Amino acid sequence: MPISAVADFEYSSTYGAITRKDRKRVITISSNVLPGYNANEINEKLKAIMHNFGMPAGYYYKFTGEQQEQAESMAFLEKAMLIALALIMIILVSQFNSFVKPGIIMFSVVLSTIGVFGGLATFKMDFIVIMTGIGIISLAGVVVNNAIVLIDYIGLLKKRRKKELGIDENDELPMDEAKECIVQAGKTRLRPVLLTAITTILGLFPLATGLNIDFIAFLETFNPHIYFGGDNAVFWGPMSWTVIFGLSFATFLTLVIVPAMYHALYAGKVAMQGIFKK
């Protein structure tokens, strides 16, 4: 039986397929980005345009794809960062038996991110969500290590000075004696902190620049074929530069800001004890 016997029909154009997500119709619009442009910058401009765009009732838009993956990666790294900092804080509090000293150390970790973003902005490097985030988490461990070495040595010098002056361990040193211990600790630990920073930076420099050396060709023809760049530099470069920038700035924090904060908080502690004794 021909279909014309029971129905009328006509040729027209319609959808080739209907895509649904969570039982809702979805239309996906995608585009490539021209060389020399950053996808994040383009998306920020699109968000500003779409903010004032009047969508019909029952319709809405959402940025997915690469933007959604970046948001999920950022959320994961934020959780990982908070967990890492929380574990470091718990260990420091249990070892120092204090909240003030671990607070100084953790504050230096937070300030070290200034060096990261400042370096990326100065050299106009892209912020790669995953690798830069991993670099920041890695940076926290190195910064904490340097600050622990300095603060622990200040405490050791204070104990020695108390024994020399015959002061009880539960009492505090006079401010001039405590200041001398802080200065002496900074002078003594200057070399270890600088060596730690310099060796780490030099060790990451080949990974950041993509330094490649052909050792086999060097042994055979004395021509190492040295060149910079490559896929490894594209992948590992953001993480390496993050640690390099952050550690360079954190070294200044460890040698200058951390002792200054320690001195200021110690002076406040001594002043508070004097007020309560009165």
Q: Tens of pLDDT along 194-224?
A: 998 899 999 998 888 888 888 888 888 888 8
How large a percentage of the chain has pLDDT more than 70?
Answer: 99
Tokens of 194: 């600088």
Residue 241 clears pLDDT 90, i.e. is over it: yes
Strand 20-21 to 24-25 pairing = antiparallel
CB-CB contact of 249 with 112 (8 Å): yes
Instruction: Tell me the average pLDDT across 163-186.
Output: 86
- Side chain identity at 259, as an amino acid letter? P
CB-CB contact of 240 with 135 (8 Å): yes
Superfamily of 69-277 according to CATH: Multidrug efflux transporter AcrB transmembrane domain (1.20.1640.10)
pLDDT value of residue 72: 86
Interval 126-157: pLDDT, tens: 888 788 888 888 888 888 888 888 898 998 99
Residue 191 clears pLDDT 80, i.e. is over it: yes
Give the Å distances, CA to CA, from 217 to 32, 80, 207, 221, 233.
41, 43, 21, 6, 22
Choice between 255 and 276, residue whose per-residue pLDDT is larger: 255
Residue 244 clears pLDDT 90, i.e. is over it: yes
Interval 78-105: pLDDT, tens: 898 889 889 989 998 988 888 888 988 8
Q: How confident is the model at residue 225 (pLDDT cuts 50, 70, 90)?
A: confident
Residue 278 clears pLDDT 70, i.e. is over it: no
pLDDT value of residue 246: 92
Instruction: Tell me the average pLDDT across 61-75.
Output: 83
pLDDT value of residue 11: 84
- The angle formed by the CA atoms of residues 233, 235 and 238, to the nearest 5 degrees, is 80
CB-CB contact of 250 with 146 (8 Å): yes
Cβ-based neighbour number of residue 63 at 10 Å: 13
pLDDT value of residue 254: 85
CB-CB contact of 131 with 236 (8 Å): yes
Q: Where are the domains of the chain?
A: 69-277
Q: What is the pTM of this model?
A: 0.74
User: Per-residue DSSP letters for the chain?
Assistant: --GGGT---------S---EETTEE---------TT--HHHHHHHHHHHHHT--PPTT------THHHHHHHHHHHHHHHHHHHHHHHHHHHHHHHS-SHHHHHHHHHHHHHHHHHHHHHHHTT----HHHHHHHHHHHHHHHHHHHHHHHHHHHHHHHHHHHHHT--TTSPPPHHHHHHHHHHHHHHSHHHHHHHHHHHHHHHHHHHHT-B--HHHHHHHS----B--SHHHHHHHHHHHHHHHHHHHHHHIIIIIHHHHHHHHHHHHHHHHHHHH-
Instruction: Tell me the average pLDDT across 222-235.
Output: 82
pLDDT value of residue 168: 81
Phi/psi for 20 (5° steps) reads -130, 150
pLDDT value of residue 85: 86
- The angle formed by the CA atoms of residues 186, 146 and 90, to the nearest 5 degrees, is 120
Interacting residues of 33 by C-beta distance below 8 A, sequence separation 6+: 39, 42
Mean pLDDT, all residues of the chain: 86
- The angle formed by the CA atoms of residues 143, 147 and 151, to the nearest 5 degrees, is 170
Q: How confident is the model at residue 184 (pLDDT cuts 50, 70, 90)?
A: very high
Q: Closest Cα to residue 73, out of 113, 129, 157? A: 129
